[in-house]
Amino acid sequence: MSRYQPRPLQFARFSPQEMQARARALREHLQRRRTVRHFSSEPIPDGVLEDAIACAASAPSGANQQPWTFVVVRDPDTKAKLRHAAEEEERQSYGGRMSKEWLHELEPLGTTWEKPHITEAPALIIPFEQVWGRTEDGQRVKHYYAAESIGIAVGFLLAALHHAGLASLTHTPSPMKFLRELLGRPENERPFVLIPVGLPAPGAMVPDISRKPLDEVMILR
């Protein structure tokens, strides 16, 4: 029997006016998302992270292999260990491993080697890319477009968190290998980014930066 077994598509159609209104509403909503670096320790309501991760896991992926694992950390000891390890790496990165040009590009963001958000945020989500997989009987399976797939899934995740009213930060400690070790993930998984999630601290500040105008990023031919 063929492994291609199609079934009818479920698809919601909107009128042109509804479509325009929905597109504009999401544009305005997503444009209000800001990366936040100062978190309150207020807890996240039950089920919200589960729903956001389910949104991420609904993303399209190469050959539908869904090459991802999302680790959620709420345990204070684990957060403290992750912060310590991240700051060890970042101290070296900011202290000389990163080029002058790179540090210059980061200046407007006000980042430093210190990563208090890792312990202050009530939760961390660490998405892992499954660089390859295994069949049920343990055979290695090649994954196709795993990097693109996890990138798309993390885009869905950030949008879902924002939609739920949570702030997030895409933190990229470098190198990130310590995440696999401290979180006990297998050798086929590569940490993609570390995402502190929660509510912003009262009075949280963000850099005064803007996005490129549409006519710079969208080309009509």
Q: Enumerate binding residues for ligand IYR (CB under 6 A).
A: 90, 106, 109, 111, 171-174
The answer to whether 167 touches 197, Cβ cutoff 8 Å, is yes
**Minimum distance of ligand IYR from residue 133's CB (angstroms):** 28
Residue closer to ligand IYR by CB (options 78, 111) is 111
**Minimum distance of ligand IYR from residue 65's CB (angstroms):** 28
- Residue that the structure tokens 């009987």 belong to: 137
Residue closer to ligand IYR by CB (options 34, 164) is 34
Between 146-164 and 48-56, two packed helices, what is the crossing angle to 10 degrees?
Answer: 150
Q: Alpha-carbon distance 214 to 219, whole Å? A: 9
Residue closer to ligand IYR by CB (options 80, 109) is 109
Strands 195-198 and 123-130: antiparallel
Please give the single-letter amino acid code of residue 199: L
**Nearest residue (beta carbon) to ligand IYR:** 111
DSSP state of 45: P
Residue closer to ligand IYR by CB (options 133, 151) is 151
**Minimum distance of ligand IYR from residue 183's CB (angstroms):** 18
Q: Alpha-carbon distance 217 to 203, whole Å? A: 32
Q: Alpha-carbon distance 203 to 39, whole Å? A: 10
**Minimum distance of ligand IYR from residue 127's CB (angstroms):** 15
**Minimum distance of ligand IYR from residue 98's CB (angstroms):** 7
**Residue 184: CB atoms within 10 Å:** 7
Residue closer to ligand IYR by CB (options 81, 141) is 81
